Structure 1
Amino acid sequence: MQATQVTKQSFLDKTFKLKENKTNIRTEVLAGITTFMTMAYILVVNSNILADAGMDKGAAFTATAIGAFIGSCIMGILANYPIALAPGMGLNAFFAYTVVLSMGYSWQFALCAVFIEGIIFILMSVTNVREKILDCIPNVLKDSITAGIGLFIAFVGLANCGLVTNGATILQLGNLQDPLVLLTIFGLIVISILLAKNVKGAFLIGMLIVSAVGMAIGLVEVPNAVVSSVPSKKPVFLQALSIPFDQIFSFDMFMVVLTFLFMDLFTTVGCLVGVASKGNMLDEDGKLPRVKQALLSDSIATTVGALLGTSTVTSYVESAAGIGEGGRTGLTAITTGFMFLLALFFAPIFTSIPTQATAPVLILVGVMMASSLTKIDFDDFTNAIPAFLTFAMMPLAYNIADGIIFGIISFTILKLVTKKKEEVNIYLIILSIIFVLKFIFLN
């Protein structure tokens, strides 16, 4: 028995270079569980968002869990980083509320776009193009896109729970006497306090508290089971490949894929650099070793996730929680992946969590993402105006893609007109022309 344990430890040490990274199996496993606790909310939130797009909620739950399992394991094995993956916030909102509900396409169309994006990213990661493209987008637009997505997500949360509604004016405050709205406000207060106190798993704990209170006072339906068989994934499995060719080669598909590419590119690279920096994993030049393997892992996970039936699977900034617990290798990511797989058997608990519990999470994730506004130089109007149009148009036009388009076009025009040509590259000019033509001929 002892010999077997030593052999297992030796195998894991050799595979993940535990000693070299000054860690051990126990630390890595606990770090993986911690990361899961901080991002398990995505099981509920993503299922609800995809259900809004018309997908089967149980199937979406299964696809989310398996996508997170596969993605995290690929990252752990291929790149040996303690970074977990799951369907990304913002990307799922664009999937459901822009592509499906705003543009009017089917969720199969959206899955196909994610699949195409994944294939393109695999090719770009292998050839290092993905890193080069990131350098072409000015930082002010990267920061404003992140903030805009955050505002969009927060707006979705506010609207879903009834805190904001349409009325005599374009928008108005919801009915604060509605018990369900009050339950949402309670959840917002609880999760805010947990976050302020740096409680690990604040989102998940908060959602469970709100759900329990809702069930206790009769506002939320009590699940009839705790453990169940795995929810089916057949209704969404491989549906990304069911789209007619005329839709695949349409201009709208091009625009949707391009937007997914931009969003995923910024999300992934920003997450990798930020999380790696927290764990002191960057080299002396501030670069991430094995970045090619990390980007490739992310790309493969996106492609596999689309085939399973979920929105873009990407790296999660919540991985920083596990790194804070001492996680330094891929064993942490793999542990998180297996926790997602285990969660499949507790689907009744997760799927019974109501909108009133998930809406505060959306709002507070928006708060976190909006922090990138502090990096924008608002004293320079050639930066401030494109940035404002980017993050303002996303929630106001209820379309993430429109925000990105307005930002790129205005940035390019202002820089060229004010003779700051050195801040504009040929790729931005080409994109601006394409976007202007879109508004002229396709809007």
Structure 2
Amino acid sequence: MGGVLTALALLAAFAVVPALWARAGAPFVGAYAATLLAACLATLAAGLFARQPIVVAPALGINVWLAYGVIYPLGVAWQEALAACFIAALLVLLTVTTPLRRIFLASMPRAIAEAARGGVGLLVVFTGLQMGKLVVGSPLTVTMLGSLSEPAAFVALAGLAVSLAFWAMGVRAAAFWGVLSAVLLALFEGFLVLPEAPFLLPEGLDRTAFALDFAHLAELSGVVLALWLFLFFDTCGTFAALGEAEEVHGLAEKRTLLVLAAGNVVASLLGAGPVTLAKESAAARAVGARTPLAACAAAAVLLLVLFLEPVAAAVLDFSAILAPLLIFSGCLLLRELRLDWQQTSEHVAFFAVLLVTPLSSSLVAGLGAGMIVYVFLEVFSGRGKKIHPVLFFFAGAFSLYFAYYTP
């Protein structure tokens, strides 16, 4: 039962992420099928191969960054973004299956890995505020508050209020109920019309599968590097959130890392953005979902949702419905941040990543700024010899990126 409830709690994300890729130019029907199929296969593999009661879902934050921080501002085609995801996924697969995993975990300051999540979280929140017209552009300042007389703002705020209220009451699927409330309100007010035929046989994979374009991959090297680092540390960090140790030793945990890395390879080949271990899996464990059957049950639910593409597509006509999920999910990413306030280098690097990422809409710039600042401060504080050579390498690589590739 826990696996089914977890999958239901994640349904809104499976509508939002394909919508993001559709806005970036990908066919929605193909992106929807690819996202559901990739998550379903990875969840099933987690249950049958890794023997873990977890659910794999779209990585909402990183998909928002790809859409609004890479594809839109840089003029990158969605096929080229998929190619970057594919290479990054291969690098993650290499990292988790070799001694590189231990080296990376030992070399990277925890503050930078934590701040990367927080920076993406702030970017997701800001994107949701803009999508819901709760924040709009200003001729005098960068942004200003929107007006509740705007239908989109009213619906988005109502959905967000429901999500927060359910969250305060301890309801697991708070984000789902918030989005559902926004949908019902939009239907009642006539802003949204559901299709007469809500079910459709899965289609569209022929338009997204193996559509990767490697022609301009060299120009996206910074994106690949940021994706690689973020996906690796997000995966390992989520195990800590689920009560697992960061240094994963068990066979089941190693197999789960392998499943997640391979799942991202398959997702990019199918035409979907990155997937990750759903943090809602922790709630499933809390209610007794501790066997692989929970993952299998969740995969079965996702397979059924695959036939609801017309309903998900209808959401595109009134995107304010998606805003509550983005804002709420971004807040949850910020909730997990931890920082040692006594370490000056980590303190400054943390805020460099946390601020630069949303302000520049670039995880590449955020991670690069954080690593460069950290190495700089450690060297001048006399602790340069303690810095891992891998971190020096990444700081140098990001310095070259800022010098030659920053648009």
> How does the TM-score come out when normalised to structure 2?
0.94
Indicate whether 1:377 and 2:377 are aligned. Answer: no
Provide the rounded CA distance (Å) in 1 between the counterparts of 2:342 and 2:135.
32
Tell me how far apart the structure 2 counterparts of residues 120 and 405 of structure 1 sit (CA, whole Å). Answer: 18
1:71 and 2:24 aligned:
no
Aligned 1:346-365 pairs, distance under 5 A: 346-353=308-315, 354-365=318-329
1:138-287 aligned within 5 A: 138-168=109-139, 169-240=141-212, 242-244=213-215, 247-248=216-217, 250=218, 252-275=219-242, 277=243
Counterpart selection for 1:297 from 251, 259, 263: 259
Separation in structure 2 between the aligned mates of residue 330 and residue 108 of structure 1, nearest angstrom: 35
Residue in 1 that maps onto 2:268: 306
Judge conservation of contact 2:13–2:325 (CA < 8 Å) in 1: no
CA contact (8 A) 1:206 1:357 kept: no
What corresponds to 1:391 in structure 2?
A: 354
How far, CA to CA, are the matches of 1:128 and 1:403 in structure 2?
Answer: 27
Partner SS, residue 367 of structure 1: helix
- Aligned AA (2:320): Q
The Cα shift of 1:289 comes to 4.7
Q: Distance in 1 between matches of 2:313 and 2:287?
A: 29
Task: Work out whether residues 50 and 256 of structure 2, in 8 Å CA contact, stay in contact via their aligned partners in 1.
Answer: yes
**Aligned match of 1:331:** 293
By how many angstroms is 1:437 displaced?
1.9
* 3-state DSSP of counterpart to 2:351: helix
Residue identity opposite 2:330 in structure 1: G
Q: CA deviation at 1:229?
A: 2.2
Distance 1:316 1:297 in 2: 13
Contact 2:27/2:204, CA 8 A, preserved across alignment: no
Looking at structure 2, the residues matched to 325 and 120 of structure 1 have their Cα atoms a distance apart, in angstroms, of 35
SS in 1 for 2:60: coil
Change (3 A) 1:70 1:307: same
Structure 2 segments unaligned to the other structure (5+ residues)? none
CA distance in 1, matches of 2:344, 2:94: 37
- Cα deviation for residue 282 of structure 1 reads 5.9
Q: How far apart in 2 are the matches of 1:60 and 1:194?
A: 30
- Is this contact kept in 2: 1:273–1:288, CA < 8 A? no
Percent identity reads 26
Contact preservation (8 Å) 1:393, 1:403: yes
- Partner of 2:57: helix, strand, or coil? strand
Amino acid at match of 1:261: W
- Post-superposition shift, 1:424? 2.0
Q: Distance in 1 between matches of 2:386 and 2:138?
A: 43
Q: Distance in 2 between matches of 1:360 and 1:296?
A: 32
How far apart, CA to CA, are the structure 2 residues paired with 1:437 and 1:282?
Answer: 35
Structure 2 CA distance, aligned partners of 1:192 and 1:154?
Answer: 14
Is the 2:109–2:346 contact (alpha carbons within 8 Å) kept by the matching residues of 1? no
Worse-superposed segment, 181-190 or 323-332: 323-332
Asked if 2 retains the 8 angstrom alpha-carbon contact of 1:134 and 1:265, the reply is no
Q: Deviations over 1:395-441 (max 9, x none)?
A: 11111211111111001101111112255211111211221122222
Letter in 1 for 2:366: G
Shift in Å at residue 222 of structure 1?
2.7
Mapped partners of 1:395, 1:184: distance in 2: 21
- 1:343 corresponding residue in structure 2: 305
Alpha-carbon spacing, 1:131–1:221, altered in 2? closer, same or farther (3 Å): farther
User: Residues 355 and 288 of structure 1: is their aligned pair in 2 closer, same or farther, counting only changes over 3 Å?
Assistant: farther
**Corresponding residue to 2:81 among 110, 118, 122:** 110
Alpha-carbon distance in 1 for matches of 2:14, 2:326: 13
Answer with 221-230 or 386-395: which moved more: 221-230
Mapped to 1, the partners of 2:286 and 2:102 lie a distance apart of 27
The separation in 1 between residues aligned to 2:394 and 2:180, in whole angstroms, is 45
**Residues 197 and 219 (structure 1 numbering): CA distance in 2 closer, same or farther, change over 3 Å?**
same
User: In the TM superposition, what whole-angstrom CA distance separates every residue of 1:283-326 from its partner, at most 9, and x where no partner exists?
Assistant: 9x985553221111011100110011011122111111221221
Per-residue CA shift, 1:151-198, capped at 9, x if unaligned? 111111111111112112111112222122111111110111111112
Comparing 111-120 with 414-423, which one deviates more in the overlay? Answer: 414-423
Per the TM alignment, residue 379 of structure 1 is displaced from its structure 2 partner at its CA by 4.4
The 8 Å contact of residues 116 and 353 in structure 2, kept in 1 or not, is answered as yes
Give the alignment's Cα RMSD to 1 decimal: 1.9
**Counterpart in 2 of 1:4?**
none
Counterparts of residues 86-125 of structure 1 (less than 5 Å): 86-125=57-96
Name the SS for the 1:86 alignment partner.
Answer: strand
Rounded to whole Å, the distance in 2 between the matches of 1:312 and 1:125 is 16
Cα distance in 1 for residues equivalent to 2:187 and 2:115: 39
TM-score (norm 1): 0.86
- Say whether 1:367 aligns with 2:331: yes
CA contact (8 A) 1:200 1:321 kept: yes
The equivalent position to 2:25 in structure 1, one of 37, 49, 54, is 54
* Secondary structure at the counterpart of residue 290 of structure 1: helix
Secondary structure in structure 2 of the residue aligned to 1:267: helix
Larger mean CA deviation between 77-86 and 116-125 belongs to 116-125
Partner of residue 430, structure 1: 393
